[in-house]
Amino acid sequence: MSDKETVTTRGTLVIDVDACKGCNLCIDACPPGVLVMTDIEVNSRGYRYPQLLAGCTGCKACSQICPDFVFQVYKYDTPQEHTS
Amino acid sequence: MSTYLPTDNPPDEPSRLVDDFVPTLIDVGAHHLCPGCGEPIAMRCVMEAIDERELTARSVAVFGIGCYTAFSNNLDIEVLQALHGRAPSLATGVKRSKPSTIVVTIQGDGDMVSEGLQEVLHAAARGENITCIMLNNGVFGETGGHMTATTVLGQRTKTSLEGRDAALHGRPILLSSLLAQIDGTAFVARGAVNSAGNVARTKKLLLRALTAQEQNAGFSFVEILTMCPTGWFIETEEAPDYLNDNLAAVHEPGVLKDVLGQ
């Protein structure tokens, strides 16, 4: 593995962490696989919640599959470059 | 070590909103349904379809009784609450008294098939110009997760802990297949909400059903297979595959009848 990789990010999310019930549906639904559940951190209700890595495409798969309406999806006008 | 991006606020960079937390027709997103439940996903599909067709002002939803009834207070369209299984009859009354209304019933499999099968069958046979939507997960989720008439053979529920057995419990009723054989139906289809792709397909089916009602073509029906990990005794992340391998293997998704199409 190289130390640094540049990743193109076309979209991003606002995650309503406290609305999450930790069901994991978004993790499997995310086509680029950029959502990762927390390991030990939990929200105010005691559930683990998703975090976003670089590489989101703004495809809405997470917001459409989420039973608890946790995601707000934005698409960048110009794709952003992130190093990970 | 992975670096997580900030997701507390909308981005500062120029961007456009492509999907909000809840669709415009759901006032309050918070609900008490279990983690991993498929019913809020289906509710989102239905409301987005009504919004997309700009039918909000003349839509009336008639709710049956089930977990999804939690949404009856949260919607920005008119909602009527029916007794167990009686939503198609109440919807008939609404439609006949005010034909310009778009009437949609939201019912579960327990409500529609176990408790009120005759209501939906007669409404379909009369060719009532309404759209009935059944959220099918094979359990009575609200009252503790016991078996319904659509529970597939082998499925574990509170009252079939060893799996549904044909000799002991009978066989599942495939309501969509039954309705497709009735002359009064214009559109009958079955969708699922176990993946983002299936959610998109289900929304197209709902739009088609609304079109059938707008064109006075007759009774339209969309069955939506939903996850109930609590009632199925499985982990939430296993539920989409469980749905695909068990429920969808018997209640096969697809369009069963479309008189407006080819």
Considering only the beta carbons, identify the residue of A22, A29, A73 that sits closest to B195. Answer: A29
Predicted complex ipTM: 0.91
CB contact at 8 A, B134 and B221: yes
Residue A61 located in a structural domain? yes
Q: Which domain holds residue A53?
A: 6-76
Fold of B39-258: Rossmann fold (3.40.50)
Considering only the beta carbons, identify the residue of A24, A65, A69 that sits closest to B29. Answer: A69
Q: Looking up tokens 């609304």, which residue turns up?
A: B210
| pLDDT tens digits along A18-61 | 999 999 999 999 999 999 999 999 999 999 999 999 999 999 99
Residue A1 located in a structural domain? no
Using a CB–CB cutoff of 8 Å, tell me whether B9 touches chain A: yes
For A17-43, b/e burial (b = at least 16 CB within 10 A) is bebbbbbbbbbbbbebebbebbeeeeb
Residues 6 or more apart whose Cβ sits within 8 Å of residue B98: none
Q: Is B80 exposed, middle or buried (0-12, 13-18, 19+ CB in 10 A)?
A: middle
Task: Return the amino acid letter for B164.
Answer: R
Considering only the beta carbons, identify the residue of B11, B38, B196 that sits closest to A61. Answer: B196
The count of domains in chain A is 1
Distance CA B213, CA B58 (A): 13
The H or E element that residue B213 is part of is helix B196-214
- The total number of residues shown for chain A amounts to 84
Radius of gyration of chain B (CA): 18
Q: Where are the domains of chain B?
A: 39-258
Distance CA B186, CA B167 (A): 35
Pairing of strands B59-63, B102-108: parallel
Ramachandran sector of residue B12 (left: φ over 0; alpha: ψ -120 to 50; beta: rest): alpha
Tens-digit pLDDT string for chain B (262 aa): 578 999 999 999 999 999 999 998 999 889 999 999 999 999 999 999 999 999 999 999 999 999 999 999 889 999 999 999 999 999 999 999 999 999 999 999 999 999 999 999 999 999 999 999 999 999 999 998 999 999 999 999 999 999 999 999 999 999 999 999 999 999 999 999 999 999 999 999 999 999 999 999 999 999 999 999 999 999 999 999 999 999 999 999 999 999 998 5
Residue A53 located in a structural domain? yes
- The answer, yes or no, to whether residue A2 has pLDDT greater than 80, is no
Residue A23 located in a structural domain? yes
Q: What is the DSSP string of A42-60?
A: --TTS---EEE-S------
DSSP symbol at B236: G
pTM, whole model, 2 decimals?
A: 0.95
Using a CB–CB cutoff of 8 Å, tell me whether B11 touches chain A: yes
Residue A38 located in a structural domain? yes
The pLDDT of residue A3 is: 60
CATH of the domain at A70: 3.30.70.20
Residue A27 located in a structural domain? yes
